[in-house]
A and B are shown apart, each in its own frame.
Chain A
């Protein structure tokens, strides 16, 4: 060992120590500021940061976190603060803070400089919609699909034809199809009937009969031959009759089928009327719909805020991911290599704040307006699965004038599925004017003095069960326009009589669907009164829709029936004519045959008589000769 070497080493160590002494605090301060800025989205400034390696302690004189929405104000400002860091985890580059006590915490203080960060243009990353965006979209859809509460629409001026497309009605579509079917059937029958053909064939039969010249035939043999020919002609005529009758029956069947179909289409009319009423949104007034219409928008805003905080927690406190083995990186950057992860036996996350206690005040300098905040937090970590315990927090807010708020919750991200819960209680808090959804008959805002609220939310994975109970007194509903009609007056009378508002809301659902359920004391009273008044108008409007649909459907039914009747008359007339002609010939033939039979008999008798006479004469002659 050389002495000179010890001197060089000591010199190097001294140089390093001096540099570290002067630069270390500033370096850590910059790193912390940069990290916090990335989370807060606005400037974070730490004044006089100090890190003591021997005491394992950090401290600062002031910490300011700018409000990203109002960058000239701080969302958080602290006075002097100190925190203890655990030494052992530092070997693994893990920062674990044992306890942090923050006093003189303020919110809403004015900044001396602008706290906004220079805007970076970041490439749009395709993110999967999260729980909040899915829930918000589902509730928005639910609100959009609320029935039209433009109650004037239920009166006589209702323009049904603009709301209902008759061509979409099943009966109208059925009649259109039936008409097409009837047209094609009749075209077919026109080509199949051929009455002229039947007449020609009948004429031919006539000619054949005439060609026999029955009048001129005198002897039995000729008559018998003619009779045989008549039999052949009769067979042909009967076959013709069979053919005509067959076609007649088929035609009758076609008309029967059309008639059956006509009745089947008509049976859809009832459903069509109901559908048309729905299309015209002539739904009965629903109690929960009134609640959603009145208070949906402001409640959703509060819900979105709560859900936003839950999602923020999930973003920065990730849940457990499936352990992936250290797969070889083929080309890591030069001299960087690849770090192989081995099972870690300690519950040391990369960052952990074991316990924090804080006290704060908003609107610094004005105690009458300020909120005094006191709270504690435990287990804040960026690797909950490593720490293995949920993050818990409890915050109490109080105002000199008497308002009291309490917020507590737990974010358990120690497994693959996040289990979060939030509980908020606010007593005697001032509400002021709350804007409501614009509607013709309902108030545009509600003004309330004081209220109590209890909110409990459970979030498991994508599942949400968020309940809110609100109790406000006294309330005053504000209308933009003067009451114009009876309905408006009823609504106003009902709402004027209410001094207290009790509202229960629940957002419930999972990734497949979210639904917002609401009810309030306003709904019951209002719905009952308005419903009563509307009943007549509603029925009238429903009748109007029914009549409209019936008339439109009747129009089309009559058109189809007219086509069928017209063709029935035409086709059956022709068929009857042919049938009649053929039958005539059949009868005529029968008659001819009968005559020929008679004549044959007559001729036979004549021959017989002649033979008898001849024999008699012969016999007489013989007797004379003897």
Chain B
């Protein structure tokens, strides 16, 4: 039920309230968190940022979920990318060595191929995702919503028992 609530909040945020930048920011940070293994220094920092910054948390949570699925599929690519970044670029070797010997740096697990690959991959994808999401929210608010509502799949989902049950329980709470 909590997931339906989050999705509902996410859809609501699309319609009104928070600015498209806040939604896109939340989604982008969530994407970065979801695409990397969580228990790293940067993962925890990003999670704190998601909580503290004035960005949409529901979008962030949905993005974590989606990015995790995406990360599972891209794991071999991230491994290869991370391996190349850590070992294949000679002028970076000295930097990695220095970083490895700084006390806090190993907590970032930067020397792990998947962590490095997914972090770099996430950073690169962050910009198109941020601007893409911003554009999507603006487009949604300016007429896309009505068109989407007419989609058969949306109607099927809306008419499903789970959604109806969720709406009932939500309404009880609000009365």
Contact = CB atoms under 8 A, between A and B. Distances in A.
Contact of B107 (A91, A332, A343): A91
A342 B107 contact: no
Given A88-B103, A337-B112, A340-B113, A1 B54 contact: yes
Contacts of A346: 101
9 smallest CB-CB distances across A and B, nearest first, come from A337-B114, A342-B100, A91-B103, A337-B113, A5-B51, A5-B52, A337-B112, A340-B86, A345-B101
A1 B52 contact: yes
Interface string B99-136: 01101101101011111010000000000000000000
B97 interface: yes
Given A1-B54, A5-B51, A345-B101, A332 B111 contact: no
Interface of B: 37, 48, 51-54, 71-72, 75-76, 78-79, 82-83, 86-87, 93, 96-97, 100-101, 103-104, 106-107, 109, 111-115, 117
A8 B86 CA distance: 36
A37 B175 CA distance: 61
5 contacts: A9-B52, A91-B107, A335-B114, A337-B113, A342-B96
Contacts of B107: 91
A342 B98 CA distance: 9
B72 A334 contact: yes
A5 B37 contact: no
Interface string A467-484: 000000000000000000
Contacts of A91: 103-104, 106-107
Given A342-B97, A346-B101, A332 B51 contact: no
A328 interface: yes
B91 to A, nearest CB: 15
Contact of A341 (B79, B82, B111): B111
Interface string A311-334: 000000000000000101001101
A341 B96 CA distance: 10
A344 interface: yes
Given A2-B54, A6-B52, A92 B112 contact: no
Interface residues of A, number: 28
B114 A9 contact: no
Nearest to A4: B51
B86 to A, nearest CB: 5
Contacts of B97: 342-343
A339 interface: yes
Interface centre among A2, A93, A335, A338 (most CB of B within 10 A): A335
A341 B87 CA distance: 10
A579 B151 CA distance: 133
Nearest to B50: A5
Contacts of B101: 342, 344-346
B75 A335 contact: yes
Interface in A328-376: 328, 331-332, 334-346
Contacts of A88: 103
Contact of A344 (B87, B100, B114): B100
Given A332-B113, A340-B83, A8 B51 contact: yes
A8 to B, nearest CB: 5
Contacts of A326: 87
Contacts of B112: 337-340
Contacts of B75: 334-335
A331 B113 contact: no
Given A91-B107, A337-B114, A338-B113, A331 B83 contact: no
B52 A337 contact: no
Interface string A1-39: 110011011001000000000000000000000000000
A223 B107 CA distance: 136
Contacts of A6: 52
A185 B71 CA distance: 92
A338 B82 CA distance: 9
Contacts of A334: 72, 75
B73 to A, nearest CB: 10
A177 to B, nearest CB: 72
Interface string A48-70: 00000000000000000000000
Nearest to A345: B101
Contacts of B37: 335, 337
Contacts of B48: 9
B79 A332 contact: yes
